[in-house]
Structure formats: C-alpha cells, structure tokens
Amino acid sequence: MSSGTRHHILSVLVENKPGVLARVSGLFARRGFNIFSLAVAPTDDPTRSRITIVVDVESAPLEQITKQLDKLINVLQIDELAPVDAVERELMIVTVTVSAESKPELLSLTEEYSGVVLDEAGDRITVSLGGTPEALDAFTARMGAAVVGYQRTGRIALPRIV
C-alpha cells in the first residue's frame, strides 16, 4: 500500500485497441516483475489510451522493459515519471464501521481529506476520496480496524508543468 522508494511510474500512451494492455503487461509478466498498480483509460483523443503503471523494479531491468515497450507497434510514447517531477492522484472508496461516538470523527476526517459520503446504512458508511497515494495511505491508517471494505484505482499521473 505504501509507496516504496523503488517504485517507478511509467506513463505509456497507446493505441486504444483490443489486446494492447495484454502486450504491455506481458512484457512485465515475462520477466517476473509484479505490476504494483495500473490505471488505463482513453485520453482526450478517443483513439488513444494512457496506461499508468507503477512497478517495483530496479533501474537496469526497467530500462530494458521500457525499450521493449517502445518496440510494440501499438505503443506511441513512454515517459518515466519521477515522483518529484509528477503530479499523482488516486481514487479510493472505503467502507468503515462507525458508532454514534466515532461517526462525527469520521465525517470530519472525511471533510479534512476533501472526501464525500457515498453510502450509509446502519453502522456502516462508505466514503470516497481522491488524493495523493500518501494521503490515501494516511487516511486509511487513521481508520484502522474500522475498515471493512476497501478499493483503490491505482494511480494516475502527469508530468509537472515546468
């Protein structure tokens, strides 16, 4: 869950076609590298998709994977984003159990993290919040054992404007 120092973020612009994600992920799988998180969606140009891959790998094999990715016909551009040079966001939805006493605390924490309540029934509340991966980690840590359901999107990222 936490973002370790060996994480690399690859932002891969691809043709929006069947099988392209399998080509990309296959290059990681073949070398036994685990993809930490993955987010895929079309860009403003619907013929193209952007794949944001967070992968836990040393730099030398990453360079080789990047070069192999670049050889895929359907891959248009690859940028490796250093965390300091990128803006990153991730979306999380989380269901927690609350009591009468803890509910106001949860609501105020949710507000503090600019989250919103999506659903509520009995002693459970589902909230969504977007933010940096670190912020989501921090929020989750404060919820502790109250968390009963948890889903994150994987991060998306763009280079900082310079």
Partner 1 sequence: MKTNGGAALIKALELEGVDVIFGLPGGAILPVYDPIIDSPIRHILVRHEQGAGHMAEGYAHATGRPGVAMVTSGPAATNIITPLADAYMDSVPMVVITGQVGTAGIGTDAFQEVDTVGITRSVTKHNELVTNAADIPRVVREAFHIATTGRPGPVLIDIPKDLVDPTNPNSALDWYWPDSVDLAGYNPRLEGDPALIKDAAQLIVAAQRPVLYAGGGILKARAAESLLALAELLDIPVVTTLMARGAVPDDHPLCLGMPGMHGNYTAVTAMQESDLLIALGSRFDDRVTGKLDAFAANAKIIHVDIDPAELGKVRRPDVGITGDCRLVINELITALKQIGAPEVQPDRSSWKSTISGWQEKYPLAYVQSEPGDLLKPQYVLEQLRDNTPDDCIVASGVGQHQMWTAQYWKFNHPYTWINSGGLGTMGFAVPAAIGAKVGRPDRMVWAVDGDGCFQMTAQELVTAAAERIPVKIAILNNAYLGMVRQWQEMFYEERYSEVYLSPDLPDYKMWAEAMGCVGMRVESPEDVLPAIQRANEVDDRPVVIDFRTDAREKVFPMVPAGKSNSDIVVGPEDVR
In the complex, which residues of this chain contact partner 1 (CB under 8 A)? 14-15, 18-19, 22-23, 26, 30, 63-64, 67-68, 70-76
Least distance (Å) from partner 1 to the CB of residue 73?
5
- Comparing CB distances to partner 1, the nearer of 15 and 112 is 15
Least distance (Å) from partner 1 to the CB of residue 32?
14
Least distance (Å) from partner 1 to the CB of residue 74?
6
Least distance (Å) from partner 1 to the CB of residue 52?
18
Least distance (Å) from partner 1 to the CB of residue 29?
9
- Comparing CB distances to partner 1, the nearer of 60 and 84 is 60
- Comparing CB distances to partner 1, the nearer of 45 and 112 is 45
Q: What is the DSSP string of the chain?
A: ----TTEEEEEEEEE--TTHHHHHHHHHHHTTPPEEEEEEEE-SSTTEEEEEEEEE--HHHHHHHHHHHHHSTTEEEEEEEPGGGEEEEEEEEEEEE--TTHHHHHHHHHHHTT-EEEEEETTEEEEEEEE-HHHHHHHHHHHGGGEEEEEE---EEEEPP-
- Comparing CB distances to partner 1, the nearer of 75 and 106 is 75
- Comparing CB distances to partner 1, the nearer of 51 and 127 is 51
User: What's at 140, amino acid-wise?
Assistant: T
CA distances 117 to 44, 69, 107, Å, are 29, 40, 8
